[in-house]
Amino acid sequence: MRKKIVAGNWKMNKTLPEAIELVENILKANTSAEVYKIFIPPFPFIYPVSKAIEKTASHFFVGAQNLHDKESGAFTGETSLAALKSVGATYVLVGHSERRSYFNESAEFLKNKINTCIAGNITPIYCFGEMLAEREANKHFEIIEQQLNESVFHLSAEDIVKLVLAYEPVWAIGTGKTASPQQAQEVHQFIRTCLEKKYNKQIADSISILYGGSCNAQNAKELFSMPDIDGGLIGGASLKAEDFVTIINSFS
């Protein structure tokens, strides 16, 4: 059985009191115990959030939005895997489109980050997806396969299953323009076919693939009802407790 996951990528939002208030309100609500719920706040809030979820029994985790591939050293402004683990992070986003486009993160750098995560035993959520022009040119399948090949398909069969994948069409991120459940399902199914071709069917069937891009309290149910969509990576809608709780409870 694949894990059902709802991860909230807060991006560069909230202050510490706001962060704690949001987490406490979500912890107070009734949320499905079987769903893995991951808070991905800005770095300064990882430790307090990990403390806030410490005593909850029901599959709450905290993750980071980024990490550096090197172990330690003179990389001003960067954060190492060991630092992240020491403050309670168990997941980390790798390859988010905002990192790729605003910070010029290359496929090679992302590959190195993936290797760092696997070696250091933290779960990477590998984000990838096509841009609008690529979809309009009907190149999205090609781009998606390329992004898998470049940064994660070097992993062994034993290691690839330690990954979570997040398909995020760039044209849907923060735009309010969600992929239709059919469009998302079509790509998720294609990703599973790529996994099967590269590894095998058992591996393809065991990896959780999240959808991200304007997923919200209104459309999550329909998206999550698709056979190859195992949850969501939520930006804007993860900043409001009520919406995030509705999304967590959107699996049928």
Cβ distance 44 to 16 under 8 Å? yes
Closest separation between CB of residue 119 and ligand PGA, Å?
25
The distance of closest approach from Cβ of residue 90 to ligand PGA in the complex, given in angstroms and rounded to an integer, is 18
The least CB distance from residue 91 to ligand PGA, in Å, is 13
* Least gap, CB of 179 to ligand PGA (angstroms): 11
Nearer to ligand PGA by C-beta: 9 or 50? 9
Return the structure tokens found at 235. Answer: 């930006």
Which pairing describes strands 36-40 and 209-212: parallel, antiparallel, or unpaired? Answer: unpaired
Sign of CA dihedral 220, 235, 129, 70: negative
Nearest to 227 by CA among 169, 178, 188: 188
Q: Which is nearer to ligand PGA, 134 or 243 (CB)?
A: 243
Is 54 a residue of the active site? no
Given 98, 130, 134, 168, the catalytic residue? 168
In this structure, are residues 174 and 214 in contact, taking their beta carbons and an 8 Å threshold? yes
Binding site for ligand PGA (CB under 6 A): 9, 168, 173-174, 212-215, 233-237
Closer residue to ligand PGA in complex, CB, 114/237: 237
Tell me how many degrees the CA angle 176-8-132 measures, rounded to the nearest 5.
35
Question: Measuring CA to CA, which residue among 152, 99, 103 is closest to residue 126?
Answer: 152
What is the number of other CB atoms lying within 10 angstroms of the CB of residue 180?
A: 11
Work out the number of other CB atoms within 10 angstroms of the CB of residue 60: 21
Catalytic residue among 68, 96, 140, 188: 96
Known catalytic membership, residue 142 = no
Q: Which is nearer to ligand PGA, 209 or 233 (CB)?
A: 233
Q: Give me the active site residues, please.
A: 96, 168
